[in-house]
Amino acid sequence: MKYSIAHYDFLAGVYEYPTEGYSEKVREAQAFFDKKFPEAAALFRPFSSYIATLPLKKQEELFIRSFDVQSVTTLDLGYVLFGDDYKRGELLVNLNREHQEVQNDCGIELADHLSNVLRLLPKMQDQELVEELARRIVAPALRRMIPGFEPEQIELKDKFYERRHKTLIERDEQQYTIYQKALQALHWLIKNDFGIVEKETPEEVSDFLRNLHTEVKLEG
């Protein structure tokens, strides 16, 4: 870890359900990236520019379509990495303990939700554990989430949802990809802060996507 990681506490607000003041949180995140990390700023800017054009109701709809209902991906890191495997259960138990120790309120989300984990990182006292959480959970999960916004993955998910629900919820074309930009900026920052060098494994996909692939084949 190169330096203070206090910034993850306020950046977490970008990756949770929008409420009043969400636009300001996104503007603050863009200003932070602009000042300190030009590479991340360039990745984040399409997202912040788009969010600035939306009223709160549309921001809520965008978040729901991206992460909740007929979603592109999920923000529950353990599910991205492990699906329904017992390893996710173990991760949730361990994260719950860490959240409780530092009094990190998880609200209505689970312990492995991205926003909760981001707020946890700067509060933890055990630096080795912070490094392990960033390297083994946060960075790998982000790496798997980001490809879910690519056109071929969107098409796969739409086929699955249409078969399962007999209909697709309409969404603006921009909604297919825009949160990818916010996740890419965060992924860049995590790698930079923790000195993470990732090996190329193009075939790697999240359990979320793998489950969709399997169900589409079974129902095809």
CATH of the domain at 99: 1.10.3480
Beta carbons of 182 and 57 less than 8 angstroms apart: no
Inside any domain, residue 59: yes
Average pLDDT of 181-201?
A: 92
In this predicted model, what pLDDT tens digit does every residue of 80-101 receive, in sequence order? 999 989 999 999 999 999 999 9
Separation of CA 65 from chain center? 14
Average pLDDT of 201-214?
A: 49
Q: Read off the pLDDT band of 68 (50, 70, 90).
A: confident
28/9 Cα distance (integer angstroms): 12
Q: What is the pLDDT of residue 202?
A: 47
- What is the domain range of residue 186? 7-219
In this predicted model, what pLDDT tens digit does every residue of 122-158 receive, in sequence order? 999 999 999 999 999 999 999 999 998 887 766 666 6
Amino acid type, 6? A
81/77 Cα distance (integer angstroms): 6
User: Which has the higher per-residue pLDDT, 121 or 152?
Assistant: 121
Inside any domain, residue 2: no
DSSP state of 136: I
Inside any domain, residue 80: yes
Inside any domain, residue 202: yes
What DSSP assignment string belongs to 12-76?
Answer: GGGGS---TTHHHHHHHHHHHHHHH-HHHHHHHHHHHHHHTTS-HHHHHHHHHHHHTSS-S--SB
Inside any domain, residue 1: no
Q: What is the pLDDT of residue 203?
A: 47
In this predicted model, what pLDDT tens digit does every residue of 28-60 receive, in sequence order? 999 999 999 999 999 999 999 999 999 999 999
Amino acid type, 37? F
Q: What is the pLDDT of residue 208?
A: 45
Q: What is the pLDDT of residue 148?
A: 85
Inside any domain, residue 131: yes
In this predicted model, what pLDDT tens digit does every residue of 4-34 receive, in sequence order? 899 999 999 999 999 999 999 999 999 999 9
Q: Does residue 213 register a pLDDT over 50?
A: no
Inside any domain, residue 41: yes
For the chain, how many structural domains are there in total? 1
Q: Which residues are paired to 76 by β-bridges?
A: 113
Beta carbons of 137 and 130 less than 8 angstroms apart: no
